[in-house]
Each structure stands twice: as C-alpha cells, then as structure tokens.
C-alpha cells in the first residue's frame, strides 16, 4: 500500500512540472489558436542550454533555471516574430506544418551539433529525500514541484490581477472584440508565445534531474504535454494543472505495473480514448480561464 | 474538374514509355536513386489520398508503411510465403487496420486527428519493438537472399526492382487521378472545404473519409513492402518512425498535393538531396538529411505551400472569362 | 409533410427551443420570424440535424427523423442554406452545384450536366467555372441556394438568404422561392426583411425566447399585439 502511495506521490510531484509545460502550450493555443507541435522540442533545447550553462559555468541549477527561462522568453518572441506570425491568420494546417518543421529542425540541429548521445547532469542533492509517514519525497522532485507551484500562482496572478493578463484573456475569448477594445493582438500573440516557450523551457530545466538530455527527449514530453492539454481542455489552465497531475500519476503507476517499454503505450491509449470521448477535456473550455 | 481519361492523356503515355526505357540508359548508383525516387513517390501518393484529397493531415502513415514492410518479411521468414503474396497480405492487412483505426480516429478534426495519427504511429512502433519474438524487436529483420525469381522478388540485378516499383508507381498515379476526377474526389473536396456544408448535402463524412484513409493505407503499405524487398533490412525505428511520416509529407507537399505528378516530382527533388547529403556528410553526423528537410519544410510552408506543380500551373493557367 | 411535436432544445440551463409544434405541407411557404435570439436558427438546426433535440419528435412524411444524422436527414429530402454562407470556396460554381447532387448519383458527368441546367436557372451560368472564393457574397448565397435546390428536395430551409440584398435582388429571390413552391418544394424562410417575408409566406410562425407565440396569415400576424410586443415596439410594415 505504501508503495502505491509512493508511486502516487512521485507522480503528483512530477505532474507539477508537466503542468507548467502544458500551461505554456495551452496559453499559446488559447490566445493564438496555434497548436504548437514544437513545445517538446523547445523544452529539449532548454535542457541542452541548461546542460551547457551548468557545464561551462558551474552555476547553481536554480540560477541556471532563471537564466534559461529569460533566454527562452526572448527566444520565443523571436520565433513568433520571424516565423509564427506569418501563418497565424491561416488555418490550423499551416500552424501544424510550420511548428512541425521547427520541431524537426531543433531535433536535428542538436543531433548534428552535439551528437545523439545521452548527456546528463548530476546534482549533489540528487538522492536526498525526506520521509513523511511511509513515503519518501525526493528533494529534487519536491523543489521542482514547489517551483512549478509558484510559477502557476504567478501565472494566475498575472492573468487575473494585471491589466495585461486580462487583456490576454480577453484576446483569447474573442480576438476581434478585443481588438475593437483597443487591445493590440500582435502584442498579445508575441507575449503569449514568449510565455508559452518560457514555460516549456522552465519545465525542461526542472526535469533535468530526472531525464537524460538527448535530441529525442522532446518527443515524448511534447506528446505528454498535448495529452495533458487535451485532458484538461484546450485553453484551460486549471484543466492543464488537473490533467498534468493525473497524467503524472498514470505515468508513475503504469511504469511500475506495466512493462516499462509499454508505459508510454498506456499514455497513448489514454490519449486516444480522451480524444474520442471528451475532446473538450475534463474541465472543458476553449479560452484561457 | 474536367473528367480525363488517363489512358488518353498524352503526357501519361509519354511518361509510361520513357519510364519503361529508363533502365536501358541509367545504371548503377543512379538506377538505385531512381528506384528510391519511385519508392518514396509511391508512399507520397498514398499520403496524398488522405492528407491531400482527404484534407486530413496524417503524421502516422509510417504505421502502414511498416505493416507493408513487416508483412513481407514475416510472411517469408515465419511462413515461407513468397514476396509477391506477402505484398498482397500487407495491403489487405493495412486495409483492415485502416478501417478499424479510421472508425476511431476519423471522428476527430484538424490538429486532434493529426495528433492521433502521430500516437498511432508511435504505438505501432512500440508494439513492433515489444513483440520481439515475432518482429525481431528493435534490432529489426533482415531478409535472406533465397533465389533469383519472380515470385520471391529477389534479383541479382537492380533493374527488375525498378520495374516492380514502376508498376506500383503506375498503380498509385492512376489511383490518384481516378480519385481526383470522380464523384468520390468531389465528395472529398466538399469535406475539405466545409464539413458542415458537405453533410448538409447528404455526404456521409465517416464513410467518405474512411474510404480515403483505407486507400491511402493500401498504397503506403505497397511502398513499405517494396522497401522491404529492395532494402533487405528493416527495423521499427526506420520503417515506423516519425521521420518517415515527415519525409513523405514533405515530398507530397513540395511536389504539390492533389496533383498527378506532384508526389513524384517531390520525390525526384528531395531524394537526390537526401542521397547527396548522406554521401557527403553522412559519416559526420546523422540527422543532417532531416535537418535539410526541416528547413525545406519551413520554407515551403511559408512561401510555397501549394507545391511546385500548382505554382507552375497557376503561372501558365489560361485566364477564365468572368462576368461579374 | 414535416411535422414537429413538442420539440425542445436546451443548451445547459438555457432553453433555446421550447415545446415547439410545427406542421408544414408540401409546397407551402412558411416564414419563421422573431427577435434576435428567439431560437429560429436553432430550430432549423434541429430540423436539419445539426442539433440533437432533448424532447419531442420530428417526422417527415410519417418517417421519424428525430435526432438522425445530418446527412441522413439531408438524403431524406431536407436541404438548407446557412446564415453565414457555406459554399465550397475552392470549388467552381458547377462543382458546388454538383455537390448538391452527389449523394444520390455517382456519375460525375451526369451531375455536372444537371448542374449546368441548375446554374442557368439561377442566373449563375456565366460564371460556371469561377471558384466560389472569387464570387461576391451575394452570388455565393445564390450559389448556396442553387446547391440546396439542385436535387429538388422536399423541403428547403433558407436562413436569412436575403441579408444584404438590394430590392431587385430580393425580388429575384422571391421569384425563385415562388417557383420552388410551385414544384411542391416546401420552403421555410427565416428572414428579418419583413416586407419580403410577409409578402411571400402563406403562413408565418413567430418565435420569441424559444416559444412559438403566434402562427397564422401574414395579415393576422402583423396585427398581433403579442408579436408587436416581442419586437419591442418595432412596427411591422406589410
């Protein structure tokens, strides 16, 4: 029983990070109506960035996190201005194809430049953990979860308490009406994309203690974030949180009870089932709420 | 959409004749490249049926490619069935799987559908690795050489492979053209333009899309079987990989979707690029061909999304008399 | 003959269509009016299958078509146009009309030939090979109408087909409607242009807040105090 609880706790903790990545994806969809197929690969790039910064400067991982976050916020803005904005008026198909191209580009430029070998960082507190009842809470997981939680709270405050955040929510509900109210759509798009990518990057760096760094790492994590977003409802941030925690737990349980090579399989099946039976997601909603 | 009878189309007949003569003039490595162009062209025609005509962007055609490839190999290795039959088994199997998956996946629209096809491809890849006993797992299967014969489809020279591929290519092109000029193609066009309006004129979305999905699967399977026969070695990462799905998407996109020559043209452009990249840089790093592909994909999406054939036909199109 | 009994459609807590009865005879022209949000389009969406109803029945010539799929209902002989026109933008005029025939006839050439006749009837034949996206909105609406008519349906539903039309264009559409009715096609028209709908309809049905508040001849309706009240003081001009 305590083993079961352990798996659940592990899943929830990891789920916190998934929530951050998924929130990024859902903001991009909510505000821009763009399905970002490259979310996982931005995450992967951030992991490489984190890896190299740590390697060459020996900076504390949490400072690295902040640095990478800022870096990728601006990187996201750059990508939006140079590429995404060109197709944003069109149908979904172009969005998919463009972000797909970006995703494959990232994956392969990393392979070409750095090779396909797995890299990893070690942190001194890797195996430190706290014991509560019968359950061990690993230190890195806990810290990552706390970071994720703080981030989500900050996001919540931003979206509900600041004027800019409210403008973004208005834009996601009805772009034209928002424009008529004087809200600058282009600014909304750029910001939303920047935030979305920044979150993916934060998620990536936060996951570094648990995942090796290699070019394909974004594929699974990207798909996972899509599953979370669909589960929670496209555009819904609370949905992303709930979905992420759920997915974290499912992943944790299926990794233990099903053959490891099939654990991904379990997630995919859940994905297809959710798409079939509740495409609006568990909490529903097409706007950021 | 003017009804054409493909057999009366002069360009097609010329193509047929020239195509049959190719092995007389082209040999060695160039012939191998020609065969690869044909192979990937066929796969691209398959993709075009569901994602061009059907308008449903699939990122999982690799699944059917793999079914075709593994059917041929397993049929022979486990059951001693010669390749020709193996190809047909692959096609039948793909059709059945496409029917089953289609019932589930085709209810979804747009990005949801695409994501689902991606998941399907990945699921199959995982399964192929998992059931090692049957499929050789991640290591893959190689096809031992038996004899030089028609039915086992193994030859000491390349040119019989060329003709095998050419026959398949003709089938693919004819299928694509027939679809385009038929009621079925018009139904698909209606669905592509506006699903609700299509339903309001009595078109059954599921049945029509399903038909397209099945035909696409069968053609893709054919190309996968051909791959297995020609390459003698397959593994899940290659024949069921996401990269493969992207490659055939790009080929059809670059060449021009829903056109008679688009997918073939796309292959004729992109495959030599791949070969050149591999030849000069393959030993440095893998991933370079896909890198080039991704740059081309981004470029095409931004500036040339209709594809080369469509861009050219617009340049030379006759102006239509309009009275407003 | 189309028969609606106790048709109710809810969206969450909102009752968009509330216990509506309706009877439409072959060749009858029925005008459906009511203030914005009254439930007119929702009602025709229920009839055509785009919305599933929560209670009640819809029968076409004694065949129960309640909650059947859109394409099934369409093939039973109910065709429609949409408030925001939905022609097939990438297809030509002829191809659009041929789509109207395609579910009943697999022969493309026959469909295209018939489409030419229909295009001529609707005054579109000088643009047969023009893509719908290159037409004006009015022409596209006409095209949508032609596409719905092509198969000679039993019932045609027109949702604000005259919006934005000039007086001359309105008269043209009225002629088309009269002709359809004379061919035993029942026509349900949703319209805000009172002059037009009052002049052509044999019967007017008035919806307000989902309920049917009046039904009768145009002359009766224009004097009905409940109807006038529903429009909040807008005078109905016949």
Write out chain B residues lying below 8 Å of A107, CB-based. Answer: 287, 290, 294
* Among candidates A83, A105, A111 on the partner chain, residue whose Cβ is nearest the Cβ of B285: A111
Task: Give the C-alpha separation, B205 to B109, whole Å.
Answer: 11
- Mean pLDDT score, B210-216: 97
Under an 8 A CB cutoff, do A116 and B253 touch?
no
Best residue in C97, C98, C108, C142 for a mutation probing chain B (most B CBs within 10 Å): C108
Residue B208 confidence (pLDDT): 96
Among the residue ranges A94-98, A235-239, B233-237, the one predicted with the least confidence is: A235-239
Under an 8 A CB cutoff, do B201 and C74 touch?
yes
Task: Give the C-alpha separation, B122 to B45, whole Å.
Answer: 22
The pair of three-digit structure tokens given for residue B64, joined into one six-digit string: 């059917």
How many Cβ atoms from other residues are within 10 Å of residue C109's Cβ? 10
Nearest Cα residue in chain C from B193? C88
Q: Could you tell me if C36 lies within 8 Å of chain B, comparing CB atoms?
A: no
Nearest Cα residue in chain B from C133? B193
Task: Give the C-alpha separation, A125 to A138, whole Å.
Answer: 9
Distance from CA of A279 to the nearest CA of B (A): 8
Angstrom CA distances, B15 to B9, B173, B260, B264, stand at 10, 11, 12, 12
Under an 8 A CB cutoff, do B202 and C74 touch?
yes
Q: Could you tell me if B319 lies within 8 Å of chain C, comparing CB atoms?
A: no
Residue B284 confidence (pLDDT): 58
The pair of three-digit structure tokens given for residue A212, joined into one six-digit string: 């090796």
> How would you label A63-91 residue by residue, b for 16+ Cβ within 10 Å and e otherwise?
ebbebbbebbbebbbebbeebbeebbeee
Write out chain C residues lying below 8 Å of B4, CB-based. Answer: none
What is the value of ipTM here, to two decimals? 0.90
DSSP A125-174: TTT-EEEETTEEEEHHHHHHHHHHHHHHHHHHHHHHHSHHHHHHHHHHH-
Q: Could you tell me which residue, B181 or C229, shows the higher pLDDT?
A: B181
Angstrom CA distances, B5 to A44, A82, B9, B79, B180, stand at 51, 46, 7, 42, 12
Distance from CA of B201 to the nearest CA of C (A): 5
Nearest Cα residue in chain C from B184? C106
Among the residue ranges A46-50, B102-106, B318-322, C42-46, the one predicted with the least confidence is: B318-322
Q: Give chains near A: 3+ CB pairs under 8 A.
A: B
Distance from CA of B157 to the nearest CA of A (A): 35
Under an 8 A CB cutoff, do B197 and C91 touch?
no
Under an 8 A CB cutoff, do B186 and C98 touch?
yes
Q: Where are the domains of chain B?
A: 2-240
Task: Give the C-alpha separation, B21 to B2, whole Å.
Answer: 31
Does the pLDDT of residue B258 top 70, yes or no?
Answer: yes
Write out chain A residues lying below 8 Å of B284, CB-based. Answer: 112
Residues in chain A, how many?
289
* Among candidates B201, B204, B322 on the partner chain, residue whose Cβ is nearest the Cβ of C130: B322
Residues in chain C, how many?
238
Under an 8 A CB cutoff, do B293 and A107 touch?
no
Residue A287 confidence (pLDDT): 38
Chains B and A touch (3+ CB pairs under 8 A): yes
pLDDT band at B143 (very low <50, low <70, confident <90, very high): confident
Answer whether B94's CB lies under 8 Å from A79's CB: no
Residue C113 confidence (pLDDT): 92
Angstrom CA distances, B197 to B192, C56, C69, stand at 10, 26, 13
* Among candidates A96, A109, A271 on the partner chain, residue whose Cβ is nearest the Cβ of B111: A96
Does the pLDDT of residue B115 top 60, yes or no?
Answer: yes
Summarize pLDDT for C110-146 with one digit per residue, the tens.
Answer: 999 999 999 999 989 899 999 999 999 999 999 999 9
SS3 per-residue string spanning B38-76: HHHHHHHHHHHHHHHHCCCCCCCCHHHHHHHHHHHHHHH
Under an 8 A CB cutoff, do B111 and A35 touch?
yes
B interface toward A at CB cutoff 8 Å? 57, 59, 104-105, 107-108, 110-112, 114-116, 118-120, 122-123, 126-127, 129-130, 242-243, 246, 249, 253, 284-288, 290-291, 293-295, 297-298, 301-302, 305
Best residue in B202, B208, B317 for a mutation probing chain C (most C CBs within 10 Å): B202
The pair of three-digit structure tokens given for residue B230, joined into one six-digit string: 């020609």
pLDDT band at A284 (very low <50, low <70, confident <90, very high): very low
Does the pLDDT of residue B72 top 80, yes or no?
Answer: yes
Under an 8 A CB cutoff, do A268 and B129 touch?
no
Residue B8 confidence (pLDDT): 64
Under an 8 A CB cutoff, do B201 and C100 touch?
yes
Answer whether A236's CB lies under 8 Å from A284's CB: yes
Among the residue ranges A150-154, B247-251, B277-281, C38-42, the one predicted with the least confidence is: B277-281
Under an 8 A CB cutoff, do A268 and B293 touch?
no
Nearest Cα residue in chain B from A106? B291
Sign of the C-alpha dihedral computed for residues C146, C150, C152 and C158 taken in this order: negative
Write out chain A residues lying below 8 Å of B120, CB-based. Answer: 272
Which of B302, B248, B307 lies closest to B49 in space, CA to CA?
B248
Q: Write down the pTM of the prediction.
A: 0.89
Does the pLDDT of residue C61 top 60, yes or no?
Answer: yes
* Among candidates B1, B203, B323 on the partner chain, residue whose Cβ is nearest the Cβ of C71: B203
The pair of three-digit structure tokens given for residue B240, joined into one six-digit string: 């069921």
> Side-chain half-sphere of A286: how many Cα atoms within 13 Å?
7
Does the pLDDT of residue C69 top 90, yes or no?
Answer: yes
Distance from CA of B64 to the nearest CA of A (A): 18
Summarize pLDDT for B2-11 with one digit per residue, the tens.
Answer: 445 656 678 8
pLDDT above 70: percentage of residues in chain B: 90
* Among candidates B192, B199, B323 on the partner chain, residue whose Cβ is nearest the Cβ of C126: B323
Residue B7 confidence (pLDDT): 60
Under an 8 A CB cutoff, do B293 and A104 touch?
yes
Under an 8 A CB cutoff, do B197 and C134 touch?
no
Under an 8 A CB cutoff, do C91 and B189 touch?
yes
Residues 128-187 (C) with a CB less than 8 A from some CB of B:
129-130, 134, 136, 144, 147-148, 151
Burial bucket for residue C189 (CB in 10 Å: 0-12, 13-18, 19+): buried
Under an 8 A CB cutoff, do B189 and C90 touch?
yes
Write out chain B residues lying below 8 Å of C90, CB-based. Answer: 189, 192-193
Residues 88-107 (C) with a CB less than 8 A from some CB of B:
88-92, 95, 98-100, 102-107
Does the pLDDT of residue B61 top 90, yes or no?
Answer: yes
Summarize pLDDT for A70-128 with one digit per residue, the tens.
Answer: 999 999 999 999 999 888 887 888 999 999 999 999 999 998 888 888 887 766 666 67
């Amino acid at each position: 029983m305590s083993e079961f609880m352990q798996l659940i706790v592990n899943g929830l903790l990891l789920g916190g990070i998934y929530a951050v990545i998924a929130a990024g994806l859902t903001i991009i969809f909510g505000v821009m109506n763009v399905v970002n197929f490259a979310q996982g690969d931005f995450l992967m790039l951030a992991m490489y960035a984190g890896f190299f910064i740590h390697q060459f400067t020996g900076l504390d991982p949490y400072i690295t996190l902040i640095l990478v976050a800022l870096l990728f916020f601006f990187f996201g803005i750059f990508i939006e201005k140079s590429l995404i904005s060109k197709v944003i008026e069109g149908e979904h198909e172009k969005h998919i194809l463009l972000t797909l191209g970006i995703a494959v580009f990232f994956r392969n430029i990393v392979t070409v430049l750095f090779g396909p070998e797995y890299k990893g960082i070690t942190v001194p507190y890797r195996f430190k953990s706290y014991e509560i009842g019968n359950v061990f809470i690993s230190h890195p997981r806990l810290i990552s979860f706390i970071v994720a939680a703080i981030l989500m709270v900050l996001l919540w405050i931003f979206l509900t308490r600041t004027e800019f955040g409210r403008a973004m929510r208005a834009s996601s509900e009805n772009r034209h009406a928002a424009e008529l109210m004087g809200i600058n759509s282009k600014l909304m798009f750029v910001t939303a994309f920047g935030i979305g990518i920044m979150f993916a990057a934060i998620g990536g760096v936060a996951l570094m203690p648990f995942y090796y760094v290699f070019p394909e790492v974004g594929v699974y994590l990207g798909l996972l974030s899509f599953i979370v977003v669909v589960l929670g409802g496209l555009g819904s941030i609370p949905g992303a949180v709930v979905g992420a925690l759920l997915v974290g737990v499912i992943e944790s349980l299926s990794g233990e009870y099903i053959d490891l090579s099939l654990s991904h399989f379990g997630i995919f099946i859940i994905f297809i089932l959710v798409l079939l039976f509740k495409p609006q997601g568990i909490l529903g909603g097409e706007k950021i709420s | 959409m003017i009804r054409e009878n493909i057999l009366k189309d002069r360009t097609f007949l010329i193509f047929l004749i020239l195509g049959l003569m190719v092995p007389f003039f082209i040999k060695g490595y160039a012939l191998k490249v020609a065969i690869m162009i044909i192979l990937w062209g066929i796969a691209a025609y398959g993709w075009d049926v569901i994602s061009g005509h059907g308008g449903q962007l699939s990122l999982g055609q690799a699944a059917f490619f793999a079914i075709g490839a593994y059917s041929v190999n397993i049929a022979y290795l486990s059951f001693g069935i010669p390749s020709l039959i193996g190809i047909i088994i692959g096609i039948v199997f793909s059709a059945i799987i496409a029917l089953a998956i289609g019932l589930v996946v085709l209810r979804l629209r747009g990005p949801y559908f695409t994501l689902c096809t991606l998941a399907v491809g990945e699921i199959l890849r995982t399964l192929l690795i998992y059931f090692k006993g049957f499929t050789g797992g991640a290591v893959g299967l190689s096809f031992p050489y038996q004899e030089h014969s028609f039915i086992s489809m193994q030859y000491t020279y390349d040119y019989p492979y060329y003709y095998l591929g050419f026959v398949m290519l003709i089938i693919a092109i004819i299928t694509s053209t027939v679809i385009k000029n038929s009621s079925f193609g018009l139904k698909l066009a209606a669905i592509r333009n506006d699903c609700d309006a299509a339903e309001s004129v009595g078109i059954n979305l599921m049945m029509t899309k399903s038909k397209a999905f099945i035909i696409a699967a069968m053609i893709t399977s054919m190309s996968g079987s051909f791959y297995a026969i020609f390459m003698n070695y397959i593994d899940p990462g290659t024949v069921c990989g996401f990269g493969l799905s992207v490659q055939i998407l790009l080929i059809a996109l670059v060449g021009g979707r829903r056109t008679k020559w688009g997918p073939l043209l796309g292959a004729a452009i992109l495959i030599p690029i791949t070969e050149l990249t591999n030849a000069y840089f393959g030993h440095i790093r893998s991933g370079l061909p896909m890198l080039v592909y991704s740059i081309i994909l981004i470029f095409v999406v931004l500036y040339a999304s209709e594809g080369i054939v469509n861009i050219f036909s617009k340049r030379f199109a006759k102006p239509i008399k309009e009275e407003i | 003959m189309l028969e609606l009994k106790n048709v109710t459609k809810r969206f969450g807590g909102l009752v968009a269509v509330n216990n509506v009865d309706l009877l439409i005879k072959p060749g009858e022209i029925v005008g459906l009016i009511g203030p914005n949000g009254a439930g007119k389009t929702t009602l025709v969406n229920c009839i055509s299958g785009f919305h599933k109803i929560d209670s009640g029945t819809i029968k076409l010539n004694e065949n129960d078509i309640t909650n059947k799929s859109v394409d099934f209902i369409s093939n039973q002989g109910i065709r429609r146009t949409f408030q925001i026109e939905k022609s097939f933008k990438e297809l030509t005029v002829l191809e659009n009309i041929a789509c109207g025939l395609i579910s009943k006839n697999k022969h493309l050439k026959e469909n295209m030939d018939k489409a030419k006749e229909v295009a001529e009837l609707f005054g579109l034949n000088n643009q047969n090979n023009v893509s719908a996206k290159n037409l004006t909105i009015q022409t596209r609406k006409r095209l949508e109408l032609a596409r719905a008519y092509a198969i000679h349906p039993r019932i045609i539903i027109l949702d604000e087909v005259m919006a934005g039309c000039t007086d001359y264009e309105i008269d043209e559409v009225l002629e088309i409607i009269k002709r359809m009715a004379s061919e035993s096609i029942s026509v349900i028209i949703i319209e805000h242009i009172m002059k037009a709908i009052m002049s052509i309809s044999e019967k007017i049905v008035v919806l307000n807040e989902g309920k049917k508040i009046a039904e009768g001849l145009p002359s009766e309706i224009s004097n009905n105090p409940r109807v006038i009240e529903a429009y909040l003081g807008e005078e109905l001009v016949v």
